[in-house]
Structure 1
């Protein structure tokens, strides 16, 4: 009976004793701050992977794709030469490779105390047709019945510059001013205006864009004609 009780006591002691292997493998949860940082890093990694998986020809929403830009999307308001709102929301869509080039150009400008401000990006073909009906002049509005606009292909942007406090630089005319004063060759302007235009033009050209002669604000990406015109509508909030 004594031997039997001793066996039971021994088994109870062993059962209550900590398992060395379990103790060694039990890792305490990281502090809350470290857990938050780890979660943020995971989200950043997921975002990088998602961007990497896109094709160069994929459309991206620039506001969600990259930070550091400014926006005043004119055709999402009535403050344009059409005198009416033609976009349901102020989205800036471009092809992925165009977005990357814009980020590069903007980084160059940020180092000088400026940033890109957008007036227009991708433009559905139906909107191009409406523009052509109002102002059928191929010097300023691309004919949607022939070549269409580079905007319709997601490879052109209408932009200006502003400083990092949000003050827009003087470019000599308003956006969508259809006259010789908006031409790159027009030089009867203050030196500061000419310098502002040259800063924008040289930076964009350094990063794969090309200007057109009649509009200081318009820049097309080098692979512009590798894409077909599109007519899909904006999906606001996507």
Structure 2
């Protein structure tokens, strides 16, 4: 008798599964969306640079070193040198870290730029809040440096300072150097040669397409919109001796 009861339960279970195919599909879709790989965000064919690591298993708020995920960017991290408006080195060593969600958006934007034979070059990325305090001590002016008590989106891992360069390493003319504080650096300044306006337009429109937004007074600064609510951080990256 028990044998027939087991068979009957099995038949009922099979029927139930067949009657709910949508639930099975939903479960499969749910599992598929849990796979958080860079190649699900950027199709492989549109990603010309080499990807070293996957984002799988990493929360969107995790800090990552961008160079560990792509060799397709260029770097001139000014605050690790004295070639900046502070005239002082405030980073112990030059590294570009962001949160995972910012890194994903940057990879997508860079793949887009590369179809136009240019790539992103970084001046600054994530900035520890302790460095923000150093900068404030040197230039305690909110017009140029965010108050470290409130922090900036750089301190949240959601902002980058960038320009564009050709794939051969020649910077596009943006009209001013990085951290030039004056109207010539404003996005709404149209009193510039057409080549400069076109270069800024390419930078701005492509970054905005991938979820970043600009500020009016700095052509180089971009914030990832979804990062604005993240917490100010003081994570410090290691430096090789």
Deviates more, 1:218-227 or 1:159-168: 218-227
Aligned residues of 2:65 and 2:97 also touching (Cα < 8 A): yes
What residue ranges of structure 1 are gaps of 5+ in the alignment?
1-43
- 1:219 deviation in Å? 0.2
Q: Check whether the contact 2:73–2:120 (CA below 8 A) recurs between aligned residues.
A: yes
Q: Of 98, 106, 109, which aligns to 1:105?
A: 109
Following superposition, the deviation at residue 46 of structure 1 comes to 9.6
Larger mean CA deviation between 164-173 and 132-141 belongs to: 132-141
Give the aligned length.
192
- Shift in CA distance, 45/160, structure 1 to aligned 2, threshold 3 Å: closer
Query: TM-score scaled to structure 2, two decimals?
Result: 0.75
Q: Please say if 1:224 is aligned against 2:221.
A: no
Q: Which residue of 1 aligns with 2:42?
A: none
Q: Distance in 1 between matches of 2:82 and 2:211?
A: 31
1:69 aligns with 2:73: yes
Instruction: Pick closer, same or farther for the CA change 1:96–1:191 going to 2, 3 Å.
Output: same
Cα deviations by residue, 1:80-104 (Å, 9 ceiling, x for unpaired): 1121211111110000010000000
Q: How does 1:1-238 map to 2 (within 5 A)?
A: 47-48=53-54, 51-146=55-150, 148-237=151-240
TM (norm. structure 1) is: 0.76
> Counterparts of 1:168 and 1:132 in 2: how far apart (Å)?
29
Alpha-carbon distance between aligned partners in 1 of 2:73 and 2:127, rounded to the nearest angstrom: 19
Give the Cα–Cα distance (whole angstroms) in 1 for the partners of residues 108 and 209 of structure 2.
9
Contact 2:53/2:69, CA 8 A, preserved across alignment: no
1:237 CA drift (Å): 4.6
Instruction: Label 1:45 to 1:92 Cα distance change in 2 as closer, same or farther (>3 A).
Output: closer
